Chain A
Amino acid sequence: MGGEFNVRRKPTAEPLIVLSYPDVYEIGISNPALQILYCHINDATPAAAERAYCPWPDMADLMRAQHVPLWTLETGRPVRDAALWGFTLPHETTYTNVLEMLHLAGVPLHAEERGEDDPVVLGGGPAMANPLPMRPFFDAFFIGEVEGRLDALVGAARAGTRAARLRALARVPGVWVPGEPLEKPVERQVFADFSDSSPVTRPLVPLLEAIHDRVVLEVARGCTAGCRFCQAGMWYRPVRERPVDAIVEAADEALRQTGCDEVSLMSLSSCDYSDIEEAVRRVGELRPGLRVSLPSLRVDSAAISLARMGSAQRGSVTLAPEAGRQPMRDAINKRVDDAMLTAAAAATFGGGFTGLKLYFMIGLPGEDDEDVRAIAAVTSAMRNVARSIAGGRARVSAAVSAFVPKAATPFQWERFAGEEEVTRRQRLLRDVWPRGVKLSMHDARAAVVEARLAVGGEELGALVEAAWRRGARFDGWSEHFSLERWELAAGDAGMSLQDGSESSASAAGAAATFSRPLPWERVIDPLLDTDFLAAERERSRSGVLTDDCRQGDCTACGVCRPGVKMDLAR
């Protein structure tokens, strides 16, 4: 709908850059990456950044029936008029929405079919660890964090012709133009000046109710705890923190600009942030009754920090124990034990927080049924701690996801457990689940598709297209996702949904033959050494822990180099 608080309108500015999150408005409007790009391009460059999200199916169908092409929210211009159209790709279940949006905009799906009047379509975001399945549909990809190269990208978008824009883009470090010969894999870009940069203080605030109605401040980027399944932890290294003064100042300004009554101090692991206690205290004091939330915390650091935060907190805390028993935790390199979990839960409620969210994962390599049941036991223990401290006011909930192997992680060579097995373990868990704790679970059928796309090669573009042609969209929404449709699409594309095809990573087998590169390794350099990832996989099998280089020794992961290093606030 547009018309948000803090919307930017530059109808005569050139070039026009359209930014898209491939999901419905209510989800996309809260995406922090788009907020960063939108604000910078509009406020600090001569270009205009306007937005388009994926219309809900009923709207999309009406648009097609009435021949109304996808338009931008700011000025209602056709998205096709843009010089550059940037998508942030968060995860595999949004891929069909990208095709949906391209089609609604009247832009040819295949990059090679686009002409002078079509925008250059650029992809970026977390899925860039393996962008291959989307290769046919994008003119270019940006690999890694874009802030340091944004001005160069905007400059490239100003070039007069489409070919000139693409040529200029190809010269920007971090850009991969499929089809252009590569001397070496494209290096993941790291925003080295993160610590000196300011968070977004004048974000878009929707008029409609969005999923999150709070100020989001990125206090740090990157995480070196080294959980072996975690793509974000591997992909966003090294750790860089913002100084606490900058955070407090930004919070004050953002509250003024948004009228929100909650601040979320965001990072991959906020209790690892050096000055978290001071940040929570000082931000909380900015307004009467202000809520401060801390999204996904690591249990070991949380236990210590939360206890020191004082009793005036509100909002919720999220902890990610992931596994129910110690051997499994060791295998995934989670350095926590049950005592720490209990302490963290106690510290949460003792610190005055009113809600505790727990993240778990099933289907991990080496997991057995006892591990799965232990998740319920751990949750039950957390609930008891919550009740003993906060009584009826305590809210505990849990989300259990299904492990999907991801590129650029030590587990990239592992297998997805399969729909049947994941469903069986989910049922097992439900049977022993404690009462009074909300449980939400990952759709096992959607996980089949995610797993196929996450570690597959460029031949999967045909699968994504076939699925979309059969009507797949909003695959992240259970009301729209259909595994049958994807299975038929796989038939159309002449492939199988289960891994086992030539390009699949796990076809490399359990034997430690890492000599054959994984499909994306020819194109993407995550900055991590493959030897490090392989060694981590070995250590997971023997249950050996690896240190966090923030506190411990360097683990020689390969990321740090001239211009790329850890940058802590203290």
Chain B
Amino acid sequence: MSWLVIRFERRGAARYLSHLDTARALQRTFARAGLQLALTEGMRPKPRFSLGLPLPVGVAGLDELAAAELAADQPGGSAEILARLAAAAPEGLLPLAVEVSGKRVRLEPLAADYECLVSVPAAELLTAAQEFAHADSALIERVSPKGRREVDLKRFVVGVDVAPADEGSVLRFTVRHRADGAARPDEVVRELLRRAECEEDVASLVTRVNVVYDGLPVGAYGRESERS
């Protein structure tokens, strides 16, 4: 049994996949690579495979991690595994690095950095971003299948800044994942646009730049160091 951590990118049209479809597509990539995943015991065996942190629909990811267990060790090690996965992967889901671990890896996200391109000039957003940064609280309403509730974005969002970009600006922020939850990137973007009194249908494109996991050193799996 060998445990793997796979670092991958999700971009292009693949950003519109759901979390489940992404997981399924990656599992199928293993099958096409001739790498059999170990199965859980019990009534309905499932492949031992999980994504570190779900990517919301519409969000590209540059630095995503997945954990998997193979049914058997692979001769050729991580280099061979990476080559086979890369050859079998669909466009838009690109395996970047593979590391074999002697024991099961638990991926527990602590924080995630996001970049969002918006078609609004930086000057319009800057004030809103600064207000948000200095505010004590920022309440929004979250509607989910479980009902409606109030969420204070300030509990979960830090490091908001705005910079100019071609055709608009780049909004950057970090979401903290805490025991009582996290903020969704689209909630943050929507709130900042609302504070800047922007129009409803501003085009925005969100990319998750990296994710910080508990216990994993910076630079693990070939990752560049995160912004602090």
Contact = CB atoms under 8 A, between A and B. Distances in A.
B54 interface: no
A205 B90 CA distance: 10
A198 interface: no
Interface in B59-106: 88, 90-92
B90 A259 contact: no
B17 to A, nearest CB: 6
Contacts of A484: none
Contacts of A5: 25, 28, 32, 90
B28 A208 contact: no
B90 A261 contact: no
Interface stretch (B8-16, B108-116, B146-154, B192-200): B8-16
A48 B92 CA distance: 22
Q: How large is the interface on A (under 10, 10 to 19, 20 to 34, 35 or more residues)?
A: 10 to 19
B29 to A, nearest CB: 7
Contact of A256 (B25, B30, B32): B32
B90 A207 contact: yes
A211 interface: no
Given A207-B25, A259-B31, A261-B31, A1 B16 contact: yes
B17 A208 contact: yes
B45 to A, nearest CB: 9
A205 B88 CA distance: 12
Contact of B17 (A207, A257, A259, A261): A207
Nearest to A205: B28
Interface string A51-71: 000000000000000000000
A323 B53 CA distance: 52
A205 B32 CA distance: 11
* Most chain A beta carbons < 10 A, residue from B12, B20, B25: B25
A208 B19 CA distance: 11
B34 A3 contact: no
Interface in A249-285: 256-261
A39 to B, nearest CB: 17
Interface in A291-326: none
Given A3-B90, A3-B92, A4-B90, A207 B32 contact: no
A261 B27 CA distance: 12
A551 to B, nearest CB: 40
Contacts of A260: 28, 31
B21 interface: yes
A354 B180 CA distance: 43
A2 B15 CA distance: 12
A207 B31 contact: no
A1 B25 CA distance: 14
- Secondary structure of the B side of the interface? helix
A259 B13 contact: no
* Most chain B beta carbons < 10 A, residue from A1, A2, A3, A261: A3
A260 B16 CA distance: 22
Contacts of A1: 13, 16-17
Interface in A205-263: 205, 207-209, 256-261
Interface in A433-460: none
A3 B14 contact: yes
Contacts of B17: 1, 207-208
A3 to B, nearest CB: 5
A207 B17 CA distance: 8
B32 A259 contact: yes
Nearest to A207: B25
A207 B91 CA distance: 10
* Most chain B beta carbons < 10 A, residue from A5, A207, A208, A256: A207
Contact of A7 (B25, B34, B91): B91
Contact of A257 (B25, B29, B32, B92): B32
Contacts of B142: none
Contacts of B29: 259
A3 B20 CA distance: 17
Nearest to B16: A1
A470 to B, nearest CB: 30
A447 B14 CA distance: 38
Nearest to A2: B13
B21 A207 contact: yes
B24 interface: yes
A3 B90 CA distance: 7
Contacts of B90: 3-5, 7, 207
Contacts of A256: 32, 34
Nearest to A4: B90
Contact of B21 (A2, A7, A209, A258): A209
Interface string A1-41: 11111010000000000000000000000000000000000
Contacts of A258: 28, 31-32
Nearest to A5: B90
A251 to B, nearest CB: 14
A209 B28 CA distance: 12
Contacts of B27: 259
A4 B28 CA distance: 11
Contacts of B91: 3, 7
Given A1-B13, A2-B13, A209 B24 contact: yes
A3 B28 CA distance: 14
Nearest to B17: A207
A207 B89 CA distance: 11
Contacts of B88: 259
B30 A207 contact: no
7 contacts: A1-B13, A3-B90, A7-B91, A207-B90, A208-B17, A259-B29, A259-B32
Given A3-B92, A4-B90, A259-B28, 15 more contacts: A1-B13, A3-B14, A3-B91, A5-B25, A7-B90, A205-B28, A207-B24, A207-B25, A209-B20, A209-B24, A257-B32, A258-B32, A259-B31, A260-B28, A260-B31
